[in-house]
Chains A and B, each alone.
Chain A
Amino acid sequence: AQKVTQAQTEISVVEKEDVTLDCVYETRDTTYYLFWYKQPPSGELVFLIRRNSFDEQNEISGRYSWNFQKSTSSFNFTITASQVVDSAVYFCALSEAGYQKVTFGTGTKLQVIP
C-alpha cells in the first residue's frame, strides 16, 4: 500500500520569506512517480511538477525548487521569496507504475502574509 504524509497542516510566512513544504511517502514499488499540485483559494487543482523514482536530480523552476531524496523517502518543495499569490493548499501525490491510482497527501495550507 502506498501512503503520502504531509505533516505540516498549515504554515504562515511573511512575504519574501523562504518556505519548505515537507512530503514523506511510502511505497513498496521500485518504480513510482511523485507529484506536487497547488490548489489556490479559487479551488482548481494545478499540476506543478512530476518526478520519477529513478531521477533524484533536484529541480528548480523560478522561485520553486524540489528536493527528492530516496534515502529518506522525501520529496520536499521550497518556495523562495514567497509572494501573496503563493497562498494555497499544496498537495504531494504518489503513483505507482501502471494504471494505478494516485494517492494524495492531506495537503499543506500555505498563507503568505503581506
Chain B
Amino acid sequence: DSGVTQTPKHLITATGQRVTLRCSPRSGDLSVYWYQQSLDQGLQFLIQYYNGEERAKGNILERFSAQQFPDLHSELNLSSLELGDSALYFCASGGYSNQPQHFGDGTRLSIL
C-alpha cells in the first residue's frame, strides 16, 4: 500500500462529458503529480502541485485542469471528453524532486 488514494478506480462515460478524478496524497507529502498512461503515449506527466500551488506543467490539454486543496488532496478535471482520453490516470505524491514518488492505484477512464 503506497498510502496514496485515488477514486474512483473505474469510470465509464461518454464523449463530451466531464469527470473529476480525486487523489489523497500520502501523509506528510506536499506534492501531488498527475500522469496519464495510454497504450500509445506511455506514461505522460500532466501537472504537479506543491502545497496548493502549481509547480510544473507537462503535456496537459486545455480541456484538463487540476487543483490542490488546503487539505492537500487534489482533483483532476477532464472536460469535453474524447475517445482518445481513455487511459489510466495516476496520481503520485512526494516531496522534493529528490524523493521518490509514491503512486496510487490509478483511475481507469473509459470513454464510450
The docked-state distance in angstroms from the alpha carbon of A52 to that of B88 is: 29
Whether B56 lies near A100 (C-beta < 8 A) is: yes
Whether A47 lies near B100 (C-beta < 8 A) is: yes
Whether A99 lies near B56 (C-beta < 8 A) is: yes
Residues in B neighbouring A97, C-beta threshold 8 A: 97-98
Residues in B neighbouring A91, C-beta threshold 8 A: 43
Q: What class of interface size applies to chain B in its complex with A?
A: 20 to 34
Tell me the minimal C-beta distance from A77 to chain B in angstroms. Answer: 15
What is the chain A residue whose CB lies nearest that of B49?
Answer: A99
The docked-state distance in angstroms from the alpha carbon of A106 to that of B90 is: 16
Tell me the minimal C-beta distance from A44 to chain B in angstroms. Answer: 5
Which residues A26-56 have CB closer than 8 A to chain B?
Answer: 33, 35, 37, 43-47, 50, 52
Q: What class of interface size applies to chain A in its complex with B?
A: 20 to 34
What is the chain A residue whose CB lies nearest that of B100?
Answer: A47
Residues in A neighbouring B57, C-beta threshold 8 A: 101
The docked-state distance in angstroms from the alpha carbon of A15 to that of B90 is: 31
Tell me the minimal C-beta distance from B94 to chain A in angstroms. Answer: 9
The docked-state distance in angstroms from the alpha carbon of A35 to that of B97 is: 11
Q: How many A-B residue pairs have CB under 8 A?
A: 61
Whether B100 lies near A35 (C-beta < 8 A) is: yes
Interface of A is mostly: strand
Whether B106 lies near A99 (C-beta < 8 A) is: no
Given A98-B97, A101-B56, 5 more A-B residue pairs with CB atoms under 8 Å apart are A33-B97, A46-B103, A97-B98, A101-B33, A101-B58
**Which B residues contact A (CB, under 8 angstroms)?**
2, 31, 33, 35, 42-43, 45, 48, 50, 55-58, 88, 90, 92, 96-103, 105-106
A-B contact pairs, 30 of them (CB 8 A): A33-B97, A43-B88, A43-B106, A44-B2, A45-B90, A45-B103, A46-B2, A47-B100, A47-B101, A47-B102, A47-B103, A50-B99, A50-B100, A91-B43, A96-B97, A97-B97, A98-B97, A99-B48, A99-B50, A99-B55, A99-B56, A100-B55, A100-B56, A101-B33, A101-B45, A101-B58, A102-B33, A104-B35, A104-B45, A107-B42
